[in-house]
């Protein structure tokens, strides 16, 4: 069941109401009995697993962004191209 957020036009009181899709929207503020308006808020919908843009297709320097947070050994990798044993970057 979705949680709807409302705000009173008179006193500014904000509250949430757990309702089904078929329930009538709240029209009266529970504090001052003024008129309320339903707000549109961000959802907490998160896509997890493989097959989504963030995990499989968003690439940074040819690497997967999701795997870019892995442990990197800076001592033996090239700082400009991030490859190991780079012959063109050794000076």
What pLDDT score was predicted for residue 40? 87
Give the chain's radius of gyration (CA, Å). Answer: 26
* Phi and psi at residue 16, to the nearest 5°: -115, 150
Residues 5 and 38: beta-carbon distance below 8 Å? yes
As beta bridge partners, residue 14 has 7
Grouping H, G, I as helix, E, B as strand and the rest as coil, residue 3 is: strand
Q: Looking at per-residue confidence, does 77 or 4 come out higher?
A: 4
Distance from C-alpha of 41 to C-alpha of 66, rounded to nearest angstrom = 27
CA-closest candidate to residue 39, choices 25, 23, 22: 25
Tens-place pLDDT, residues 38-89: 998 777 777 777 777 766 666 665 555 555 555 444 445 555 565 566 655 5
Tens-place pLDDT, residues 9-34: 999 999 999 999 899 999 999 999 99
What pLDDT score was predicted for residue 61? 56
Q: What is the pTM of this model?
A: 0.48
């Amino acid at each position: 069941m979705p949680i709807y957020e409302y705000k009173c036009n008179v006193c500014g009181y904000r509250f949430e109401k757990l309702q089904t899709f078929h329930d009538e929207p709240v029209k009266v503020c529970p504090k001052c009995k003024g008129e309320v308006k339903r707000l549109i808020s961000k959802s907490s919908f998160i896509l997890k697993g493989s097959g989504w843009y963030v995990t499989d297709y968003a690439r940074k320097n040819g690497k997967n962004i999701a795997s870019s947070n892995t442990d990197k050994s800076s001592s033996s990798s090239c700082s400009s191209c991030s490859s190991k044993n780079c012959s063109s970057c050794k000076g």
